[in-house]
Amino acid sequence: MKNWLRNKIHNFIFPQDSLVESRPSTKNSAISRGRTLDSRGMSFTIYTASGGYILEYTNYDEKTDRHNQALHVIHPDQDLGQGIAHIITLEMLRK
């Protein structure tokens, strides 16, 4: 589930990568893709909560050499994928 969600979000943010990458998925390619995402300075963790989900967003700011963190709440009546997409869009617009 975790890798599936990561791949969906990666393909949403970087649609050109899904067109270029047509090789079968292996453990090594999944690891290298994860490193690619981390090298761009963006990561997030999803926690389940009693009222939905908590998304912890972390990014690295090269200008200030700092890691910035933000917490977002995704309500249970909201679609998880749409909520993540909105949060990522919001955070990208803040840059």
- Give the pLDDT mean for 80-92: 91
Question: Strand ranges (DSSP E) for the chain?
Answer: 42-49, 52-61, 66-74
Q: Which is more confidently placed, 21 or 12?
A: 12
What pLDDT does 5 receive?
78
pLDDT classification of 20: cutoffs 50, 70, 90: very low
Residues 34 and 46 in one domain: no
Q: How far apart are CA 44 and CA 47, in angstroms?
A: 10
Percent of all residues in the chain with a pLDDT value above 70, rounded to a whole number: 71
Domain span at 27: 1-40
The residue that leads in pLDDT, 95 or 47, is 47
Number of domains in the chain: 2
Q: Are residues 83 and 62 in the same domain?
A: yes
